[in-house]
Structure 1
Amino acid sequence: MTDLDRPLPTRAQAALHGAKIQVHRARRGLWNRWITPSPRWPDTDRPEGWRCVAESRSALRGATDPSERALEAGKIQNLRRAAQAFDGVYVPPGRSLSFWAQVGRPSAGRGFAVGREIRQGCLIPSVGGGLCQLSNALYDAALTAGLPVPERHAHSQVVPGSLAETGRDATVFWNYVDLRVRAPEGLWVSCRLSADHLVVRLHAPAAAPARRAPALHVLRPTPNSCATCGQGACFRNADAVGRRLERPRTAWILDGVWPEFDRLLAAERASADPVLLAVDGRRVGWDRYAWSTQGAPVITAPQHALVRSLRARQLSPQGADRQRALLADDAALARTLGERLPVDCERAVVSARLLPHLCRQGALGGRRFEVLLDRPPLATLQRALDEAAARWPDSPTLSDFRAPAALVRAEGEALAA
């Protein structure tokens, strides 16, 4: 049977399926609340002496059709959001890690985008679609580490190139199709997006070598994709085909203007590339932010520029309090701009003072980026201050402030990437 011969889903069937989903969700919600509650584990530093016992690495991209690439960009955004819920998480000995307890409901209001999800034999556009790549990776790593898996559900159909082809997959669907992994001796999770891959690493106390479960070749049907199946009469097809990504964009995420970097922006920015900054200085006459934004889609956060300006007037010209306030302002601006970063931007050009904050919130995961070094790296600055403080120990300002170690580390890792 060809794709065109298959019976099309109807709105009535979809409505009935949706009603069944709500029943399952209500039942699972009661079960999770009263029978087997699953906590959301916080993130911590990796315990001293623990080693990596498993790694799962999977490619983020593979689509070539513009319609598929648009949904793929949404999937990567969903992975960015979900990865933050797992990165640095510590699971105590004897407890379990639940996928949905960590991630929560994937809604547009929480920053999740339209990706792809298998439903009723088709890959359809859906908010939060694509999170199965993360659940697949967690299950694959758990098998490698030899961890017990109290709950896992296999995909009914195989997306080509996924771990479902070898039986190392785990589908998830809010909230009743979950993945739960138990940690007999404790577990610490690292979950990151590089420019091209999703990388999940599991760490545990030094113990016996991890066992890798044998891969199985699983024969399951391959789902149709709404974006490319050609079924124009299907009610789901119009929404999928309407989403096209002809050319990925570059986002320019900027802070204070520098003349040489402004010339770079004017020379290299493509017409559709967005500029994200606190305020459009050229338009409102604010010289500090007067970047060459003519003709660009501009995304601003003017409240941060105003707060920063008012606070700067209240702070002393130098000292630890001023530096802490400036870092806090940078973090707040980076958080807002990162949340507003369009999902179809696969590349970014970033001002250095926003870089570590964007990296810590995961906004640059799955993207290639370049850095406008409008100041030396924090590690270099602090090394110079340490040397100066050793030479002039009586100075009250050379050693009164150092940036948090996690921030310095995040910036160093980003610059080395």
Structure 2
Amino acid sequence: MACLDPLPLTPFLWSQAVLLRSVLAYVALAAALLALLPGAEMLGAAAVALVVMLGWQDMRKVPRAVFIVAILALVFALGRDPALIGQAAANMSRLAGLVLAVMLLSSVLGRSGDLRRISASLFSGKPATRYLSLAFGTALVSIPLNFGSVAVVGSLVAERIRSRGDSPETRNATRAVLRGFGSSPAFSPLSISVVLTLTLLPGLGIFSLLALAIPFSVALILAGLVWRVPEPTQTDVAAEQTAGWASWTRFGGLILAICAGVFVFTHSYSLSYAHSVTLSCMAAVIAARLLSWLQRQNPPLVNMGNVSNELAIVGGSAFIGAVISGAVLGQVSGSPEWPLWAWALLAASVPWTYFVAGLLGVNPIVVGTLVGGILGAVWPSEAVLGLGIGMVTGWSVTAFGTPFAANALIMERLTGYPARDASLRWSLALSFSGLAVAGLLAAVTTTLLL
């Protein structure tokens, strides 16, 4: 069977393959930006598929499995209703473009001196203050940086471990970074969780969702104060490393500008939420590039040749979700006539579904696709907020409480703390508490709206 294995590429051919994938990724991004043009979404979906297939040899098992299921969904749609393919390709192109735009924004901001100073200053203060600074700081940085926030702030924790060794301070700092990032899937308007939820539940409004999600995220971080280990007080951040008001103002202004752009594109131009986020993020990237040129700098273009895993999961899941949703809608007329308690119980189970699947290594994007695609098609429209809040809060707890989440693996690589300890064991009580509150919130919201 060894003869069936793919032939290894020479260094030259490998570099050319990476370059081709990078070019196709930029094509997919351009197609997502120009989604209003005829054929752009189909072009974007095709470019995403080519990036995935060209990077197949280097991909992990889960992204491969997701993309294979997406191909099966395509075959199903061709046989059942080819009209499903258009909407599925549109979802695939939009969400893939969103991921690429956020990755570009993360790369651009990663070179910012303001960001380095902000990250370093988060280590100052007493233990409780330091924990909250790291948690809320990581949550704030994660709005534009996504996973990049874990790498940026986590690298500071890693440096502490290298210079001073393992300590209660570094363990609590690791908890804070993971929990801070974990809160972002619930409250960040730029997160893939919020965008996917709004895409699969078109009747759900962003402001009503965030009105419930933001208090939940804040309470989750504050509750994390209970589950720490005692540590001595240290305030040893050098003055030149700390961020002043100017750094915080510039960074906060950037986040507000991106969010304002999303609001304008969504409400003034009636663009989809995913398309609006992509446009706003790219506006920030282009502005940063123009500023660099004015300063007589010319940073290299970001290489997008190694994004096959991300595009397979996000693009494949978006395609699967659209096909499932369309197929379910074609079989039902209105919502099932279930009793009120059944809808409430179903809403309460959504966050736990995310967490259990996460413990089994299933990506939250896949879970969200199935939950949103199936339940979103039959959920009572007047109570869709209950389903939406269950989805984003369940995603949030799964992001910091399961060992297979990407941020947990990044922190394991940086700090050396096993993901099963840092994410699962150290935060298990917080995870169960968060899931209980999330389930109750989803159930009560559903009950009140029905």
Structure 1 or 2: more strand by fraction: 1
With the length of structure 1 as denominator, give the TM-score of the two structures: 0.26
Structure 1 or 2: more helix by fraction: 2
- The one of the two structures with greater contact order (alpha-carbon pairs below 8 A, sep at least 6) is 2
Larger Rg over CA atoms:
1
